[in-house]
């Protein structure tokens, strides 16, 4: 058993001889202990608050993901076991013959002027049809440009459910074919709205924009322009426009 060298330094109820320094040491030790305890308690509270905030965020994210997953519907690629009992109007009428077109009572052709008569005959046209489109004269075009015009017109009309196909005949003429002639009016209106087109012709009927001169006048005007330029400069090769009739 360890012996105490100086019994006077032992602090006990029996030993009442305390030195002033002993009281200061106890006070300092007590204050330091309480300060350390308060700091530890404050740190514990802060850590608990941080943990509570993190837990709340995790729960909130989980709730949001659950709600999004509930709204998202996964459709598999294999639909062989899916039974569709619903029918719409398009499905009921699929494959049925188209109803006949009602053109009304036939008009009195005797009292019509030639322009109205041509329009009426064109409107009542049915069956396969073909015709030609004359492009603007006096404009040089390459083979690729003419084929591009034919392809573009075919695709645009196809988007409107009009089955008309255009092919290039030469550098200034396109030919079109149609399986259903009842759409010929739509094709005519579309062609005459294009800046590259000059004349729409089907059979013996030719249609141009209001104000456009006839084909003969346009050809004569271009020939005069060419003759004038050649007379002014016979060696000039800048004017090489080709007119296809």
178: CATH: 3.30.70.260
Q: What is the domain range of residue 37? A: 20-54
How many alpha carbons fall within 13 Å on the CB side of residue 78?
Answer: 1
pLDDT (mean) for 48-57: 80
- Structural domain includes residue 90: no
What pLDDT band is residue 99 in, cutting at 50, 70 and 90? low
| Cβ 167 vs Cβ 174: under 8 Å | yes
- Structural domain includes residue 190: yes
Nearest Cα to 221, choosing from 196, 188, 189, 198?
198
- Structural domain includes residue 159: yes
Same domain, 46 and 126: no
- Structural domain includes residue 233: no
- Structural domain includes residue 183: yes
- Structural domain includes residue 170: yes
- Structural domain includes residue 50: yes
How far apart, in Å, are the Cα atoms of 244 and each of 32, 61, 144? Answer: 110, 73, 17
pLDDT at site 58: 80
What pLDDT band is residue 212 in, cutting at 50, 70 and 90? confident
pLDDT at 60 over 70: yes
Give the count of domains, the chain.
2
């Amino acid at each position: 058993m360890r012996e105490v060298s100086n019994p006077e330094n032992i602090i006990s109820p029996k030993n009442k001889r305390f030195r002033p320094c002993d009281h200061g040491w106890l006070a300092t030790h007590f204050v330091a202990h309480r300060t350390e305890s308060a700091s530890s308690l404050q740190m514990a509270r802060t850590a608990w608050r941080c943990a509570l905030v993190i837990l709340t965020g995790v729960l909130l994210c989980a709730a949001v993901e659950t709600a999004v997953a509930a709204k998202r519907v996964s459709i598999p690629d294999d639909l062989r076991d899916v039974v569709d009992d619903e029918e719409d109007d398009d499905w009921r009428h699929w494959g049925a013959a188209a109803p006949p077109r009602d053109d009304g009572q036939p008009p009195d052709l005797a009292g019509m002027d030639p322009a109205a008569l041509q329009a009426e005959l064109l409107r009542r046209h049915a069956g396969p049809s073909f015709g030609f489109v004359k492009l603007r004269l006096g404009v040089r075009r390459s083979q690729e440009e003419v084929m591009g015009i034919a392809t573009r017109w075919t695709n645009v009309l196809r988007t409107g459910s009009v089955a008309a196909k255009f092919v290039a005949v030469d550098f200034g003429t396109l030919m079109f074919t149609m399986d259903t002639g009842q759409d010929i009016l739509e094709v005519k209106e579309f062609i005459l709205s294009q800046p590259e087109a000059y004349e729409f012709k089907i059979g013996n009927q030719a249609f141009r924009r209001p104000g456009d001169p006839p084909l003969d006048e346009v050809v004569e005007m271009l020939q005069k322009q060419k003759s004038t330029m050649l007379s002014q400069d016979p060696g000039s090769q800048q004017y090489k426009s080709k007119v296809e009739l």
